[in-house]
């Protein structure tokens, strides 16, 4: 049992805090945790978000408030934790916001440390974050056509997969977070993305973050998308998207049933 997407970000880097993740994993029968940080936290990654900062003052304010620590502190903490003998396997990585014009920068930054895994995510459409409460609705969803937002999101997802920079695609369909959907059928898009993931031997996630944090009715991937990914034999990893220890492995019994009970 692995939880493939767990954030550390709500605490300073301390062994005591990491042990809370370990204890919760044990309580829920999780053997392995993929711990990570968002790249927007690190001052060394500030350049990645230049276009988003310039897109709207609210984006600049949000990013400036997040971009406060050095990745060197993360590197040192990883080394300290890996030196410990723990009952749960801990892997360390990054969740990188993908911008297709920043691939060279991303590659350069990732080469600075041997991460156990690197997750690529699409969080920005037209350089505006699509999922920020009290921000995204007014400056993206109320301004742009929903069909265009979805087309851009999935076209950028294709570029992310083809980049070869990542081992895992984050929360593939959380663009649905606000229950806003395109007028066109996404089936063809889902098949195309699934084919690309399989070709690149890249994992994607059944990520329940939208379900328990934002009360979306889907327990991770939508039924249609999940069945299409299974049809193409894409490797799907269960993910809590926990941002605090208490959420590690949340709803994993239900997720495991969805992932494996109907698998051919």
**pLDDT band with cut points at 50, 70 and 90 for residue 262:** low
Mean pLDDT across the stretch 49-75? 96
pLDDT in tens, 113-161: 999 999 999 999 999 999 999 999 999 999 999 999 999 999 999 999 9
Q: How far apart are CA 159 and CA 260, in angstroms?
A: 29
User: What pLDDT score was predicted for residue 260?
Assistant: 84
Query: DSSP label at 13?
Result: S
User: What pLDDT score was predicted for residue 24?
Assistant: 97
Q: Assess whether pLDDT exceeds 80 at residue 36.
A: yes
Q: For the stretch 239-263, what's the b/e string if a residue is b when 16 or more beta carbons lie within 10 angstroms of its beta carbon?
A: bbbbebbebbbbbbeebeebbeeee
Q: Which residue has the tokens 């984006």?
A: 59
User: What pLDDT score was predicted for residue 66?
Assistant: 95
Centre a 10 Å sphere on the Cβ of residue 201 and count the other Cβ atoms it contains. Answer: 9
Q: How far apart are CA 255 and CA 261, in angstroms?
A: 10
- Burial of residue 174 (number of CB atoms within 10 Å: 0-12, 13-18, 19+): buried
User: What pLDDT score was predicted for residue 264?
Assistant: 44
Give ∠ CA 155-62-57 in degrees, rounded to 5: 85
């Amino acid at each position: 049992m692995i939880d493939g997407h767990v954030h550390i970000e709500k605490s300073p880097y301390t062994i005591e805090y990491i042990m809370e993740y370990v204890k919760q994993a044990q309580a829920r029968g999780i053997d392995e945790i993929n711990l990570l940080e968002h790249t927007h936290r690190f001052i060394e990654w500030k350049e990645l978000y230049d276009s988003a900062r310039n897109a709207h003052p609210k984006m600049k304010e949000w990013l400036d408030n997040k971009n406060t620590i050095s990745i060197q502190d993360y590197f040192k903490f990883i080394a300290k934790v890996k030196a410990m003998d723990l009952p749960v396997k801990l892997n360390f990585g990054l969740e990188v916001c993908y911008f297709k014009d920043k691939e060279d920068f991303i590659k350069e930054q990732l080469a600075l440390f041997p991460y156990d895994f690197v997750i690529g995510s699409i969080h920005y459409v037209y350089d505006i974050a699509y999922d920020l409460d009290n921000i995204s609705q007014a400056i993206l969803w109320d301004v742009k056509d929903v069909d265009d937002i979805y087309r851009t999101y999935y076209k950028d997802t294709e570029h992310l997969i083809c980049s070869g920079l990542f081992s895992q695609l984050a929360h593939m369909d959380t663009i649905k977070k606000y229950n806003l959907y395109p007028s066109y059928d996404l089936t063809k898009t889902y098949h195309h993305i699934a084919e690309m993931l399989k070709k690149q031997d890249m994992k994607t996630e059944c990520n329940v973050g939208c379900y328990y944090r934002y009360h979306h009715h889907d327990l991770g991937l939508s039924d249609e998308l999940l069945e299409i990914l299974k049809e193409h034999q894409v490797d799907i990893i269960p993910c809590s998207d926990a941002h605090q220890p208490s959420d590690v492995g949340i709803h994993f019994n239900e997720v495991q049933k969805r992932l494996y009970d109907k698998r051919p």
